[in-house]
């Protein structure tokens, strides 16, 4: 293994990004319906055009962008090539890229996934990746190792914005805590050992999450802003005491303003400023 960076690299990178460009995380979700609404073919060429317009619109004003990997993967190798270029272009412009891949496995497979998304030598290398803890938070150790080594971050699914997740995530563990709360507590312990907030949380902004976040000072990715019903005004009560590195995510509510680049940029800036005002 190469030498590790000094402690706290990821937190400093993320803090610098949100201080200079705000806390809004804009999602790039090129599903078939949005491509059609932009007058683009549901093809690799349409995907490529969509991604280039998004990069142009968000690169100068938004600190964090989250490509949804599945919408690129569905086009096979051509789609992945577009994703690779999109990630590289955003990062070159100073944007932090969160690859929304929701990966998670065990052993060498987990290590391979971690290297794919976090190792700088990988063409998919991102600043952070979303991960699933449902093979055990401990099984994410290879991701933690790669994130720590390369100054990157993870966002582990805790309490997601989809209603189907409630049965599993709110189930009670033998300790009496919910599964989601157990993920929060284990993530906090991982960060304490890593001496950095490498493990952030995914906590949906669409409903009361029921989590005690007082002992978790790390980053929180909060999907659900806009099209899923959450508003910027909901954030202070949902995430009281957790606003410093809170990253509310908006995808469809911004993307519906495309394909005009100026309109996309304006929509993102308006959403960003609303978040900053609400969390001030």
Q: Please give the DSSP secondary-structure letter assigned to residue 262.
A: H
Given a cut of 90, whether residue 7 has pLDDT beyond it is: no
Distances from the Cα of 70 to the Cα of 6, 113, 128, 133, 171, angstroms? 33, 15, 16, 19, 28
Instruction: Output phi, psi for 55, to 5 deg.
Output: -60, -45
pTM above 0.75, yes or no: yes
Fold adopted by 9-275: TIM Barrel (3.20.20)
| Per-residue pLDDT, 1 | 42
Segments making up each domain of the chain, as ranges: 9-275
Which of 12, 102, 207, 252 is catalytic? The answer is 102
Active site residue 66: no
Tens digit of each residue's pLDDT (9 = 90 or more) over 65-91: 999 999 999 999 999 999 999 999 999
Tens digit of each residue's pLDDT (9 = 90 or more) over 153-168: 999 999 998 889 989 9
* 261 vs 264: CA distance, rounded Å: 5
């Amino acid at each position: 293994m190469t030498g590790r960076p000094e402690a706290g690299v990821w937190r400093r990178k993320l803090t610098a990004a949100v201080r200079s460009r705000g806390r809004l995380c804009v999602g790039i979700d090129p599903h078939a319906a949005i491509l059609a609404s932009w007058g683009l073919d549901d093809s690799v060429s349409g995907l490529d055009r969509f991604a280039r317009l998004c990069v142009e619109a968000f690169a100068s004003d938004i600190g964090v962008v989250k490509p949804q990997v599945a919408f690129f993967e569905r086009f096979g190798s051509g789609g992945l090539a577009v994703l690779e270029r999109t990630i590289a272009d955003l990062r070159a412009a100073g944007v932090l890229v969160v690859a929304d891949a929701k990966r998670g496995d065990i052993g060498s497979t987990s290590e391979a996934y971690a290297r794919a998304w976090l190792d700088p030598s990988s063409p998919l290398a991102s600043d952070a990746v979303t991960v699933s803890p449902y093979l055990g938070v401990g099984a994410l150790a290879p991701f933690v190792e790669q994130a720590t080594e390369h100054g990157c971050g993870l966002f582990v699914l805790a309490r997601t914005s989809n209603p189907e997740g409630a049965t599993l995530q709110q189930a009670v563990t033998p300790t009496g805590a919910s599964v989601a709360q157990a993920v929060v507590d284990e993530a906090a312990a991982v960060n304490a050992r890593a001496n950095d907030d490498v493990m952030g949380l995914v906590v949906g902004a669409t409903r009361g999450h029921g989590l005690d976040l007082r002992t978790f000072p790390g980053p929180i990715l909060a999907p659900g802003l806009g099209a899923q019903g959450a508003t910027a005004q909901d954030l202070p009560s949902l995430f009281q005491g957790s606003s410093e590195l809170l990253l509310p995510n908006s995808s469809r509510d911004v993307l519906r303003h495309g394909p005009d680049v100026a309109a996309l940029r304006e929509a993102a800036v308006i959403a960003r400023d609303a978040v900053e005002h609400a969390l001030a």
